[in-house]
Amino acid sequence: MSAQEPVIDVRDLKVTFATDAGDVAAVRGVSLHVDPGQVLAIVGESGSGKTVTARSILGLLPETALASGAVVLRRNDDAASSDVLSLSPSRLREVRGRDAAMVFQEPSTALNPVFPVGWQIAEGLRAHRRLTRAEAHREAVDVLRRVGIPDPEERAKHYPHQFSGGQKQRIVIAQALVLNPGLVIADEPTTALDVTVQAEILDLLRRLPEEFGTAIVLITHNMGVVADLADQVAVMYHGRIVEQADVRTLFSAPQHPYTRALLDAVPRVGGPRLRPARTAPVGETALTAAPSTGAPVVEARSLTITYPGRFRRPGFTAVDGVDLSIHAGEVLGLVGESGSGKTTIGRAIAGLTPVTGGELTVLGTQVRGIHERDFRAVRRRIGFVFQDPATSFNPLLTIAACVAEPLLVHGVAKDLDAARPRVDELLEAVQLPKAYGDRFPHELSGGQRQRASLARALALDPELLIADEPTSALDVSVQARVLDLFARLQEELGFACLFISHDLAVVDLLADRIAVLHHGKLVEQGTGAQVLGAPQDPYTQRLLASLPVPDPVEQAERREAWRALVTR
């Protein structure tokens, strides 16, 4: 294989963007090549230049970009190779799709909603080859079958919204494969998908080199995905490749300090926990038994939340008869895929979404049907950390003003100046320099903002903290820092916490107990060791098996276990 010419050969690629603040160098001299049938993973954090590198392979850079170097792409029939950067627009159009194709991150936006999927695949064919409509359609159906869409003759006539997220991503992959390109560039192909669906798509991508002879450039920040799929790994940092090695070497003996830090930061299920296991009082091991330590902070009994339907359709039940309780000082991890109702439960506890059935008691107050006025007293005892730190701060207020808001609203401090000592104290508690209080939110990085968000949530010393996916918008090393801080603050302040996440490994780091949600129903709950060590419910088992671990050897074994579980 190595005797063959590489499919893509990138030599000293440099990309610079013109922005209002002057030029920004996104890629600073990257060289890499991919042999036929190989999978190269480019990993790195946001802003490391990995997407820009991949996009320049297809000449997909915006007008403001200036690229230099060479990107030599071989034709799919081995006839010739060409430098993508110097091609004319019409020649570039020929190359795209034929020699290299792209799989995008978000399958729901990569497909045009007003055309049938078969037509969309055939469109790519007809752009490159002279085919009749029927021939193109036949080939489209054929490629749909090969990517595992059941009943492709019928399904080719369907529109994108009639497919699930995973199937849509299969269609996008089919679209990329239909011209049989030598190279497929997959830009975070599974980031938008749930973990069980991700496992299926990874399985499909793994088959591509064997069945289609396609090389893959995989862009991802998920080390588990890398371990699962890649042959070669290139680690990018600030526009440069800092380390390049085959996958086993990289994971077993990382050379560069950045790679080591990156790997250390990845949370693993069953790995070392951030918090000591709670010394559970006697009798709490049995979950049904009420603990002796006072009333629970949150108690839900057959909690049901229904969103009203539109146009005489029945409403959508997001949460269906959930029983759970959070005791003082306890961290409950709530896990589930998108649409499982985990965020809805968090919002209901915070009084943002009305409860429609069952009972929900928060800090001794029945929430169902409560008036906003009566709930205000409860609100000052609840803290909330939002998912996206970029949008959860008013962009026109300084960090200090944002953190001081709870103090001002509840009359603890008269004005901003009076609140400032407490704000400084809080910023210090979340390890932000005091001077950051005078900055505006956009002047902080994502991790810093999320720490400020934590400071705001803790401003009134809440008894209950609700954290809704607090780290899912952050890079993995930043996530590790925020989680670390979180665990320490929880220990110091002793608040009860509902920690919502889709990431089993993250929840395992923090939670005393874990509750697993599936389609609005609570399928399993128990301590971390119980739920993740010996899952009882088939859904939990599948969830756990789908999770790729950042270790290529272990992941190969797990993959087999997953296959057995799925085909069972």
Partner 1 sequence: MTADVSVPNDTPADPADIPVDALPSRGPLWKRLPVVRQLRTSVGLQRGMLVTGVVITAIFLVTAIFAPLIAPYGGSQLRSGSVAFGAQKAPSAAHLLGTTVGGYDVLSRVVWGTRTALLVMIAAVVLSIFLGIFLGLVSGYFGGWIDRVLVVVADAIYAFPSLLLAIVAAIVISKGQSSMWGGILAAAISITVVFVPQYFRVVRSEVVRVKAEAFVEAAKVIGTPPARIMVRHVLRNSVRTLPLIVTLNCSEAILTLAGLGFLGFGIEPSAAAEWGYDLNKALSDVTSGIWWTSVFPGVAIVLTVLGVTLVGESLNDLADPRLRTRRAAGRRGARAAVQSEVDVVEVDPLDAPPVADEDTSTGRTGSHDETTGGAR
Q: 389-428: which residues touch partner 1 (CB under 8 A)?
A: 390-397, 402, 405-406, 409-410
Restricted to residues 131-150, the positions that interact with partner 1 (CB under 8 A) are: none
User: What is the distance between the alpha carbons of residues 240 and 450, in angstroms, rounded to a whole number?
Assistant: 27
Taking the least distance from each CB to partner 1, the nearer of 86 and 302 is: 86
Q: β-strand 365-366 against 65-74: which pairing, if any? A: unpaired
62 binding partner 1? (CB under 8 A): yes
Taking the least distance from each CB to partner 1, the nearer of 60 and 290 is: 60
Residue 534 beta carbon to partner 1: minimum distance, rounded to whole angstroms: 33
Restricted to residues 41-60, the positions that interact with partner 1 (CB under 8 A) are: 45-48, 50-52, 55
310 binding partner 1? (CB under 8 A): no
Residue 25 beta carbon to partner 1: minimum distance, rounded to whole angstroms: 4
Among 38, 56, 76, 105, binds partner 1 (CB under 8 A): 105
Give the HSE-up count for residue 114: Cα atoms under 13 Å, Cβ half-sphere: 0
Of 103, 174, 116, whose CA–CA distance to 142 is shortest?
174
Restricted to residues 441-460, the positions that interact with partner 1 (CB under 8 A) are: 441-443, 445-449, 453, 456, 460
Give the HSE-up count for residue 175: Cα atoms under 13 Å, Cβ half-sphere: 27
198 binding partner 1? (CB under 8 A): no
304 binding partner 1? (CB under 8 A): no
Restricted to residues 522-551, the positions that interact with partner 1 (CB under 8 A) are: none
Residue 311 beta carbon to partner 1: minimum distance, rounded to whole angstroms: 17
89 binding partner 1? (CB under 8 A): no
Taking the least distance from each CB to partner 1, the nearer of 140 and 219 is: 219
Paired with 10 in beta bridges are 32, 71
Residue 428 beta carbon to partner 1: minimum distance, rounded to whole angstroms: 12
470 binding partner 1? (CB under 8 A): no
Helices (H) and strands (E) in the chain, counts: 21, 20
Residue 444 beta carbon to partner 1: minimum distance, rounded to whole angstroms: 8
Q: Report how many residues bind partner 1 under the rule CB under 8 A.
A: 86
Among 135, 323, 388, 554, binds partner 1 (CB under 8 A): 388
What sign does the dihedral 124-129-131-135 (CA atoms) show? negative
Restricted to residues 169-188, the positions that interact with partner 1 (CB under 8 A) are: 187-188
13 binding partner 1? (CB under 8 A): no
Query: Segment contacting partner 1 (CB under 8 A): 3-11, 163-171, 199-207, 431-439?
Result: 431-439
Among 58, 245, 298, 350, binds partner 1 (CB under 8 A): 350
User: What is the distance between the alpha carbons of residues 433 and 422, in angstroms, rounded to a whole number?
Assistant: 14
98 binding partner 1? (CB under 8 A): no
* Residue 568, both tokens: 């069972």
364 binding partner 1? (CB under 8 A): no
The answer to whether 172 touches 138, Cβ cutoff 8 Å, is no
DSSP 250-272: HHHS--SHHHHHHHHHS--TTS-
The answer to whether 161 touches 78, Cβ cutoff 8 Å, is no
The answer to whether 235 touches 259, Cβ cutoff 8 Å, is yes
305 binding partner 1? (CB under 8 A): no
351 binding partner 1? (CB under 8 A): yes
Quote the DSSP letter at residue 441: G
65 binding partner 1? (CB under 8 A): yes
Residue 258 beta carbon to partner 1: minimum distance, rounded to whole angstroms: 6
User: What is the distance between the alpha carbons of residues 96 and 57, in angstroms, rounded to a whole number?
Assistant: 9
Restricted to residues 237-276, the positions that interact with partner 1 (CB under 8 A) are: 237-239, 242, 256-258, 261-262, 265
Residue 28 beta carbon to partner 1: minimum distance, rounded to whole angstroms: 8
User: What is the distance between the alpha carbons of residues 95 and 92, in angstroms, rounded to a whole number?
Assistant: 5
Among 386, 486, 499, 562, binds partner 1 (CB under 8 A): 386
190 binding partner 1? (CB under 8 A): no
- List CB contacts of 13: < 8 A, sequence separation 6 or more: 27, 29, 30, 31, 53, 56, 67, 68, 69, 70, 71
352 binding partner 1? (CB under 8 A): yes
342 binding partner 1? (CB under 8 A): no
Among 81, 249, 477, 541, binds partner 1 (CB under 8 A): 477
In our burial notation (b when 16+ CB lie closer than 10 A, e otherwise), range 54-78 reads bbbbbbbbeeebebebebbbbbbee
88, 203, 460 from 381: Cα distances, Å: 63, 46, 7
Residue 6 beta carbon to partner 1: minimum distance, rounded to whole angstroms: 25
506 binding partner 1? (CB under 8 A): no
User: What is the distance between the alpha carbons of residues 488 and 274, in angstroms, rounded to a whole number?
Assistant: 8
Q: β-strand 183-187 against 100-103: which pairing, if any? A: parallel
User: What is the distance between the alpha carbons of residues 59 and 61, in angstroms, rounded to a whole number?
Assistant: 6
